[in-house]
Amino acid sequence: MTETTAILVGASSMLSKEIAKRLSASGMKLVLLAQDTASLDDVLTQLPETTQVFPLNIADAEQTITQLQQVWQQVGGAQLVLVNTGLNSYHPDLPWQLEQEIIDVNVKGFAAVCNTFFRLFREQGYGQLAAINSIAGLRGGPSVAFHAAKAFAINYLEGLSMHAQRLKLPIDITDIQLGLLDKAAMQHSQLWLSPVEEVARQTVNALLRRKRRVIVTKRWVTVAWLTRWLPEYIYNTRHWKQKKKRSK
Ligand SMILES: NC(=O)c1ccc[n+]([C@@H]2O[C@H](COP(=O)([O-])OP(=O)(O)OC[C@H]3O[C@@H](n4cnc5c(N)ncnc54)[C@H](OP(=O)(O)O)[C@@H]3O)[C@@H](O)[C@H]2O)c1
């Protein structure tokens, strides 16, 4: 039954695990892809035995494409694919090695994954491709490659959506743009960060409603709006102030 299968790429993150539990509870059979499959052991104890697991490192685009095609054959297709991979780091010297790693994973790897699943959905005749993205892509920022990569992802997904419409294919593209999430949710470290459970809840709602684009959590809609429209001299100052505070 391909209609109820969901593939999660980057299944090892805390957010992916929360999403996996919710998708499973909604009746979907899961296929989890992660760099280190052992990192899924904890969540697998909370998921049905039908859950399948495969290793995947998306840093090598060519290899990623081959592996995804093999997985697709083995699981017999899927109705939903959620891509939740990403690298981020900040270094004031902007060492090329770091920038390159971010570009390899967040741009090349991301595009290879989305391109492959789009083509597989096209052959299958339907599907939903979703990605966890970031409002960081709305504007440049101090984590230079990260912000630029997220802008790439926003535009790549929009392009795929346009392409599906032009081909008159029932392929939905969902861009889930996150604000900041609180990975230490249990400690409620910062009030304005969204707990992972709430991020997962809003994400799964958007997925099941096949939304084209959504900002999660809702409290980040205003921040996203401001980020997009603030004049550069104010937007730049805001970032400088944040960095100064952090370095104290
Ligand atoms: N955290 C936030 O506040 C925040 C805010 C806005 C947007 N986002 C976006 O949300 C997504 C997830 O972020 P997160 O904070 O949850 O990060 P995370 O916990 O570090 O998760 C990133 C995921 O990407 C996977 N990944 C990294 N490199 C990979 C590679 N080469 N091949 C395959 N998988 C790889 C990681 O796998 P491993 O565990 O094996 O490394 C992990 O599952 C990212 O797209 C990020 O931009 C996060």
pLDDT tens digits for 60-108? Answer: 999 999 999 999 999 999 999 999 999 998 899 999 999 999 999 999 9
76 burial via Cβ count (<10 Å: 0-12, 13-18, 19+): exposed
More confident residue, 246 or 11: 11
Q: Which of 71, 141, 148 is nearest to 106 (CA)?
A: 148
pLDDT tens digits along 166-212? 999 999 999 999 997 655 434 445 566 789 999 999 999 999 999 99
The pLDDT > 70 percentage for the chain reads: 90
Number of domains in the chain: 1
Contact status, residue 5 vs residue 78, Cβ threshold 8 Å: yes
Whole-number Å distance between alpha carbons of 211 and 172 = 8
Quickly state the pLDDT bin for 241 (edges 50, 70, 90). low
List the beta bridge partners of residue 83: 9, 131
The domain that holds 84 is classified in CATH as 3.40.50.720
* Ligand 1 neighbours (beta carbon < 6 A): 10, 12-16, 34-36, 39, 56-59, 84-88, 105, 109, 132, 134, 178, 180-181
What pLDDT score was predicted for residue 246?
53
Of 55, 61, 57, 76, whose CA–CA distance to 115 is shortest? 61
d(CA 122, CA 107): 22
Rg, C-alpha atoms of the chain: 18
3-state secondary structure of 28: coil
Which residue's CA is minimally distant from atom 19 of ligand 1? 13
Range of the structural domain that residue 92 is part of: 2-247
180 or 8, which is more confident:
8
**Can you tell me the distance from the alpha carbon of 117 to that of 58, in angstroms, rounded to the nearest whole number?**
13
